[in-house]
């Protein structure tokens, strides 16, 4: 739902205070090259505010017709909105009105840099009901069936207090005499498509002040970026405005691939803080490399053909399992060391992770529980299971998931490096259903019990 942040009645101030007050709408990640001139040339061919003859594919096209009569106040307010949009739209928002249907509008928001939505195109269909501006406009998001934000449902529903689809105080709701379409569009960009969308989830804002907050937020943003890539593919295949979409991605394709390569190398998603110690997870780096192949295929269809050889390979080449243990093979020592540095002594999904270097993996068989050691598929004696902590009791689970608790194996004959891993289950605190249980059910029960205790027993009549 809507983020628990302080907002003013007007257009929200989208400023990153940690970076000398620079707007996150225009602030570049430190690892991005400067492509300002290319961005400008890509958008120079398109007016930020313009009109089209009709919207045949508009979500609200069936809500009315061209001959329908509307009140004078309705038309006056919409025309006032048009003037404001034409004058003050930021360079990352484009709006089209309909010449034959004054009640329809379409907007596209370009994902801001410093967020997991950067370079994406996000389309919104808008309808002004007969009672506008007494009630807010209706807004539908072109989701492609993907949930890229707690406020943007896969059905296209947009959850925002300014639209009356989420609760808010008086100044956050739609005010007929004050609220404008510009305020609404900038609110969607600044409050929804923001740098840390995890905190838009209801009832999780409190985790921001706990050790749980940042790890959850980081994982959520990584997943959002993958969904943003999927949205790119959806929009390129079914563009609401074909000419604009083709032009945008034709110019931005090379930069998107460069950003993806930075992520594959370990740059944190949407990072705007130089020298951050929080790199992207191995899972995220692999997923970016894998799905970017599909994105690049779409770029090639647009005519950007030289990109096929520019995308870096994933850091994890393949995985396989053997006798309940999982193996992950890396392409080089750097990827291996990155995994160790990232995971050793850290927590993942509520589990403490340890990474230990083990003796080189031999080529013989044997091992096993009875022989006092464990031999993987074709492997030699790697030490006893108890030495590695792999006691077979109820609190241990075997899993193929990566990354988990690791033992490190190094082949000295030039073969790929390998990890042997399993994980210990304590409490999976990352399980959102568990958090929701504590916040929505258990805490209110405890509060009620405490309140009852303070009141004391009810006297008998």
DSSP letter string over 190-209?
Answer: IIIS-S-GGGGSTT-GGGGG
Residue 342: band (very low, low, confident or very high) from pLDDT cuts 50, 70, 90: low
Where do the structural domains in the chain lie, given as residue ranges?
42-205, 211-307, 324-356
> Residue 405: its pLDDT value, please?
36
Average of pLDDT values for 425-430? 29
- DSSP states along 314-349: PSEEEEEEETTEEEEEESSHHHHHHHHHHHTT-EET
122: three-class secondary structure by DSSP: strand
**In the predicted structure, residue 336 carries a pLDDT above the cut 90:** no
> Residue 206: its pLDDT value, please?
83
pLDDT (tens digit per residue) in 248-293: 999 999 999 999 999 998 899 876 444 444 577 888 888 899 899 9
**In the predicted structure, residue 34 carries a pLDDT above the cut 60:** no
DSSP lists the bridge partners of residue 405 as: 422
- Number of helices and strands in the chain (H, E): 9, 15
**In the predicted structure, residue 96 carries a pLDDT above the cut 50:** yes
Q: Which CATH number fits domain 42-205: 1.20.1050.140, 3.10.105.10, 3.10.110.10, 3.90.1150.10?
A: 3.10.110.10
**Virtual CA dihedral for 69, 70, 72, 73, nearest 10 degrees?**
180
Tell me the average pLDDT of the chain: 70
Average of pLDDT values for 424-443? 41
Average of pLDDT values for 106-124? 96
Distance CA 324, CA 302 (A): 46
Do the beta carbons of residue 117 and residue 193 sit within 8 Å?
A: yes
**In the predicted structure, residue 32 carries a pLDDT above the cut 80:** no
98: three-class secondary structure by DSSP: strand
- 358 vs 242, which has greater pLDDT? 242
How many CA atoms are closer than 13 Å to the CA of 210, on its beta-carbon side?
Answer: 10
159 classed as catalytic: yes
pTM of this prediction exceeds 0.75: no
> Residue 214: its pLDDT value, please?
86
Residue 222: band (very low, low, confident or very high) from pLDDT cuts 50, 70, 90: very high
pLDDT (tens digit per residue) in 135-178: 999 999 999 999 999 999 999 999 999 999 887 676 789 999 99
**In the predicted structure, residue 323 carries a pLDDT above the cut 50:** no
Strands 93-98 and 49-52: parallel
**Low-confidence winner among 174-188, 241-255, 292-306, 422-436 (lowest mean pLDDT):** 422-436
Do the beta carbons of residue 361 and residue 382 sit within 8 Å?
A: yes
Q: Which of 4, 159, 290, 317 is catalytic?
A: 159
> Residue 440: its pLDDT value, please?
52
Give helix 242-264 / helix 213-237 axis angle, nearest 10°.
140
Distance CA 47, CA 25 (A): 19
């Amino acid at each position: 739902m809507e983020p628990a942040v302080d907002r003013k009645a007007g257009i929200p101030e989208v400023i990153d205070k940690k970076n000398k007050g620079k707007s996150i709408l225009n602030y570049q990640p430190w690892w991005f090259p400067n492509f300002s001139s290319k961005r400008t040339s890509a958008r120079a061919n398109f007016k930020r505010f313009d009109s089209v003859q009709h919207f045949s594919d508009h979500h609200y096209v069936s809500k009315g017709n061209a001959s329908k009569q509307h009140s004078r106040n309705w038309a006056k307010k919409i025309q006032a909105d048009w003037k404001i949009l034409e004058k003050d739209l930021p360079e990352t928002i484009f709006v089209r009105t309909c010449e034959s249907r004054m009640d329809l509008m379409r907007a596209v928001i370009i994902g801001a840099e410093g967020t997991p939505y950067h370079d994406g195109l996000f389309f919104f269909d808008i309808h002004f009901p007969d009672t506008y501006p007494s009630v807010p406009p209706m807004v539908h998001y072109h989701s492609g069936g993907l949930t890229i934000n707690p406020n943007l449902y896969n059905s296209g529903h947009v959850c925002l207090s300014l639209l009356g689809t989420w609760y808010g105080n008086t100044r956050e709701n739609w005010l007929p005499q004050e609220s404008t379409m510009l305020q609404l569009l900038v609110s969607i960009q600044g409050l929804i498509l923001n740098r840390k969308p995890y905190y838009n989830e209801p009832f999780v804002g409190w985790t921001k002040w706990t050790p749980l907050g940042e790890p959850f937020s980081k994982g959520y943003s990584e997943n959002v970026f993958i969904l943003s890539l999927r949205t790119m593919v959806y929009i390129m295949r079914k563009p609401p405005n074909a000419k604009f979409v083709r032009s945008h991605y034709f110019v931005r394709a090379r930069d998107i691939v460069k950003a993806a390569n930075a992520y594959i190398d370990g740059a944190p998603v949407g990072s705007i803080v130089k020298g951050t110690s929080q790199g992207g997870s191995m899972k995220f780096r692999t997923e970016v490399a894998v799905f970017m192949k599909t994105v690049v295929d779409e770029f090639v269809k647009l005519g950007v053909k030289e990109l096929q050889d520019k995308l870096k390979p994933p850091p994890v080449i393949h995985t396989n399992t053997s006798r309940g243990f999982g193996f992950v093979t890396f392409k080089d020592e750097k990827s291996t060391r990155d995994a160790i540095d990232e995971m050793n002594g850290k927590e993942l999904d509520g589990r403490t992770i340890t990474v230990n270097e083990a003796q080189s993996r031999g080529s013989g068989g044997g091992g096993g529980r009875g022989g006092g050691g464990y031999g993987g598929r074709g492997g030699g004696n790697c030490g006893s299971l108890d030495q590695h902590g792999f006691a077979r009791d109820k609190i241990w689970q075997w899993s193929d998931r990566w990354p988990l608790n690791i033992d490190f194996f190094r082949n000295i004959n030039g073969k790929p490096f390998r990890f042997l891993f399993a994980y210990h289950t304590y409490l999976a605190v990352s399980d959102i259903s568990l958090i929701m249980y504590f916040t929505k059910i258990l805490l209110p029960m405890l509060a009620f019990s405490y309140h009852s205790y303070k009141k004391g027993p009810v006297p008998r009549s």
